[in-house]
Structure 1
Amino acid sequence: MTINNLHLVTILLMALATYATRVIGYAALSNRTLSARTRAVLDAAPACVLLAVIAPAFVAPKPADVIALAITVVAATRLPMIATVTVAMVASASLRWLTG
């Protein structure tokens, strides 16, 4: 299997954009003292991104996706972020495999 050159360039540019946002954010905030409110907003950002990714499953016509979403919600209330993401991926992949 070969990868299309356009796809490869797209992947590399997306990786560069992701990395650039991290570096720019670090450079912009490295010499500043952040308020508690600002820290709270920055701490909530990963959860907001995760929600944006899984929110479409609320209206998914596939039962496997809806069940995986329910499992993810339960995991999110009890586990740290990385564990929640892992549970979500395993639940989604397993249920999709089981249901075809």
Structure 2
Amino acid sequence: MGAGTVMTVLTLLLMALATYCTRIGGYLLLNRQHIAPRTAKVMEAAPGCVLIAVLAPDFASGRMADLLALTVTLVAAMRCSLLVTVLVGIGSGWFFRMILPS
């Protein structure tokens, strides 16, 4: 396994840990609190916003593979859950990068 692969896996694991910590931290802080409906809506939208912030730089690159993956992911987002959308985005990104030149 190359150094780049190790760094990629480490980055993914640290991102997963950070996500878990924010989720469990929010639960521990707010589990006995009353949350206003407007606040609840904002909190429900946050995971999607974080996902967009992480992925946006790749899609701004202008590479055809990334733009096609973005299109497929947007269609999935309109029809599927967040987990399925993430998996479709990862899979389509990998697929298009494999079949299309840089």
Q: Which whole-Å CA distance do the structure 1 matches of 2:2 and 2:98 have between them?
A: 26
The verdict on how the C-alpha distance between 1:27 and 1:73 changes in structure 2, with shifts beyond 3 A counting, is same
- TM-score normalized with structure 1 length: 0.76
Larger Rg: 1
Cα deviation, residue 92, structure 1: 0.4
CA-atom RMSD in angstroms? 2.5
Say which SS state the counterpart of residue 51 (structure 2) adopts. Answer: helix
Question: Match for 2:57: what amino acid?
Answer: P
Q: Which whole-Å CA distance do the structure 1 matches of 2:18 and 2:55 have between them?
A: 22
The count of corresponding residues between Structure 1 and Structure 2 is: 94
Matches within 5 A, 1:43-58: 43-58=44-59
Cα deviation, residue 61, structure 1: 3.1
Q: Which runs of 4+ in 1 moved over 6 A?
A: none
Q: Which whole-Å CA distance do the structure 1 matches of 2:72 and 2:2 have between them?
A: 36
Q: Aligned pair 1:25/2:26, yes or no?
A: yes
Partner of 1:69: 70
Residue deviations 1:40-86 (CA, integer Å, cap 9, x gap): 01100111011112222342132101110111111111111111111
Percent of aligned pairs sharing the same letter: 41
